[in-house]
A and B are shown apart, each in its own frame.
Chain A
């Protein structure tokens, strides 16, 4: 047993540049599932897995993607510590599998040169060889291996090409002493670190000249031509907006049928429970708490699946990196580090991996500025909220007769998050986090056909996470919220006599009293009382106390708003009232004085609030960890809540002034 509890004494490190195909190879060798994306910097966390080498199980460690081992960034620190055997809890590797992208040989080999200098045996796994050969280039692998004095194996993780040969070569080099294939001359030694860098590159250049033959650069030229359009500062943005509109429009139109079916399915389950079980508190909990709460969130599964289908397709085709490149100029203008893009793009799925991905940023101030704005990116938990509001108040409306209003509003919400993030970053970088931005070199990966397996794996993983969350955290919160909305039970008699309604936490109404209608019960419940307390604060935003209750609950997790509204409108439904979908319930909801609780302006105001508010306990916890302080997460909650209130206030009051109220 080693320090990690694995049954093997052999530890192999898998290292390489970002986007070299390292994660795909890791998955292929270990059979583990891991997120694969097509822009650099996705792998931040260390991943481990078993790799069978000639019947023995080795522990394969997936190091973060890096360009060098100069230990300037956190990732490089971790990787060089692991290779030196100085990382606590990780055994020093017996060999390194260096993943080298054949289409970017010179840049990739620089990292390999540094690995040689660490004195650990290296085997080179040459990836993207199919793309390289399609470009009509040729590579003499034997020559490359001879010049580098180390084994080189061409691999293809998808087809399995070279997998066995790679395992055999790794076995061969174990317990051997590696040979550094070049020497630093006296000039290089005296010229400091730069002298060594030039020496390594000189050697690499000679090796590549001896072993690689390039054909004409037709395909490169085509890729460059496409890039000139897609990264153009005007046309690039127009194309980006058009792509996002198409994506959102498709999400709405494709998801509507499965969403309706799911809603009907949960409605049927609820009706079945009510019909088959005796009336009582348990039936109420099952129908109004559990089925309404969890079902209210699960119906948005089709949208989540479609969103991740498109995100994966855009990532895997290489377009996402172009989109990031487009916004780079804007971000650098406000002083934000170029490397902030990758964490911010990850944050569109979820802020937590995005915040963890900021570890690639060397400067503490730049890193903290990125962490502070990452939650503004519209994560997938906001999707159910946006979809509910759009479905209830903007469904079936079109702009210019063919662009759905829903798609335009979704785009507007995403854009609002990005714009506010840029403004906030600009303010932070000029005040509390003042520092000059370091230069950033961004690699644009080649265009390629998306790997459908990776795309569907990504969708499947996200769907599982979403369902797991609905079945655990959302379920528990739904039960708690139902209890807060159900208890205490109040009686009719006391309410009529003008006294405080007679209440019983246990739910027993005195026999001489008749229970209040459910809508009144809700008003006198714990949650109802809390909602009434905060009502004066949220009234300027156009929200009544019921929305207030949902708003408070959503500070645990954003999608809880949907389950809370679902429970509120079910619990508050008087006996005999027909059951309806959540969208219909929201549309028909009334305030205590009988006016509609929601208008299109209220819905828009709520969406703006959700773009800007910090409503995720898990994000707060990860910010606490990554900043090693409570002051930063508290500052984040404070300024984001204030901004959300201000944004919602301006939207509602401004809308009313313009006559939309």
Chain B
């Protein structure tokens, strides 16, 4: 395995990590807050 492979694998792992972090961040940012009413959601 030469240096090119090592760099490429690092880049791919970085991309997976970034995508995972984004998914986690989005699911947290968009998660409804506790006590959100049934009639209207997302603000209180």
Q: How far is the CA of A285 from the CA of B14 in the complex (A)?
A: 14
**CB closest residue in chain A, given B39:** A364
Contact with B along A612-636 (1 / 0, CB 8 A): 0000011001101111100000000
Q: Give chain B residues whose Cβ lies under 8 Å from the Cβ of A617.
A: 23, 26
> Within the complex, which residue of A278, A480, A506, A625 is in contact with B32, where a contact is CB–CB below 8 Å?
A625
Q: Is the interface of A mostly helix, strand, loop or mixed?
A: helix
Q: Known contacts being A280-B4, A476-B18, A621-B26, is A626 close to B12, with CB within 8 Å? A: no
> Within the complex, which residue of B11, B27, B43 is in contact with A621, where a contact is CB–CB below 8 Å?
B27
Q: Known contacts being A479-B12, A480-B16, A508-B1, is A77 close to B40, with CB within 8 Å? A: yes
- Check A626 against B41 for contact (C-beta < 8 Å): yes
Contact with B along A598-624 (1 / 0, CB 8 A): 000000000000000000011001101
**CB closest residue in chain A, given B16:** A480
Q: Give chain B residues whose Cβ lies under 8 Å from the Cβ of A359.
A: 40, 42-43
Q: Give chain A residues whose Cβ lies under 8 Å from the Cβ of B27.
A: 621
Q: How far is the CA of A483 from the CA of B8 in the complex (A)?
A: 9
Q: Give chain A residues whose Cβ lies under 8 Å from the Cβ of B22.
A: 472-473, 476
Q: Known contacts being A359-B42, A364-B40, is A480 close to B19, with CB within 8 Å? A: yes
**CB closest residue in chain A, given B18:** A476
> Within the complex, which residue of A282, A618, A625, A628 is in contact with B38, where a contact is CB–CB below 8 Å?
A628
Q: How far is the CA of A479 from the CA of B10 in the complex (A)?
A: 11
- Check A281 against B19 for contact (C-beta < 8 Å): no
Q: Is the interface of B mostly helix, strand, loop or mixed?
A: helix
> Within the complex, which residue of A88, A473, A475, A624 is in contact with B44, where a contact is CB–CB below 8 Å?
A88
Q: Give chain B residues whose Cβ lies under 8 Å from the Cβ of A627.
A: 41
A74 interface residue per 8 A CB criterion? yes
Q: Give chain B residues whose Cβ lies under 8 Å from the Cβ of A626.
A: 41-42
Number of A-B contacts (CB under 8 A): 76
CB proximity of B26 to chain A, nearest CB, Å? 5
Interface size, chain A (Cβ < 8 Å): 34
CB proximity of B10 to chain A, nearest CB, Å? 10
Q: Give chain A residues whose Cβ lies under 8 Å from the Cβ of B41.
A: 625-628
Q: How far is the CA of A473 from the CA of B15 in the complex (A)?
A: 9
> Within the complex, which residue of A88, A472, A624 is in contact with B30, where a contact is CB–CB below 8 Å?
A624
- Check B32 against A628 for contact (C-beta < 8 Å): yes
Q: How far is the CA of A278 from the CA of B12 in the complex (A)?
A: 20
A85 interface residue per 8 A CB criterion? no
- Check B15 against A282 for contact (C-beta < 8 Å): no
> Within the complex, which residue of B4, B30, B31 is in contact with A281, where a contact is CB–CB below 8 Å?
B4
Contact with B along A250-290 (1 / 0, CB 8 A): 00000000000000000000000000001011110100000
Q: How far is the CA of A251 from the CA of B11 in the complex (A)?
A: 36
CB proximity of B44 to chain A, nearest CB, Å? 7
CB proximity of B16 to chain A, nearest CB, Å? 6
A124 interface residue per 8 A CB criterion? no
Q: Give chain A residues whose Cβ lies under 8 Å from the Cβ of B8.
A: 281-282, 285
Contact with B along A73-104 (1 / 0, CB 8 A): 01001100000000010000000000000000
Residue pairs across A and B with Cβ atoms less than 8 A apart, 6 shown, are A280-B4, A359-B43, A624-B30, A624-B31, A625-B41, A626-B42
The 10 A-B pairs with the shortest beta carbon distances in the complex, nearest first, are A479-B15, A282-B4, A621-B30, A628-B41, A625-B30, A476-B15, A280-B4, A476-B18, A628-B32, A74-B40
Q: Given contact pairs A281-B4, A364-B39, enumerate 14 new A-B contacts (beta carbons under 8 Å).
A: A88-B44, A278-B4, A282-B4, A285-B8, A359-B40, A364-B38, A364-B40, A367-B40, A475-B15, A480-B16, A480-B19, A483-B12, A624-B30, A624-B32
Measuring CB to CB, which residues of chain B are less than 8 angstroms from any residue of chain A? 1-2, 4-5, 7-8, 11-12, 14-16, 18-19, 22-23, 26-27, 29-32, 36, 38-44
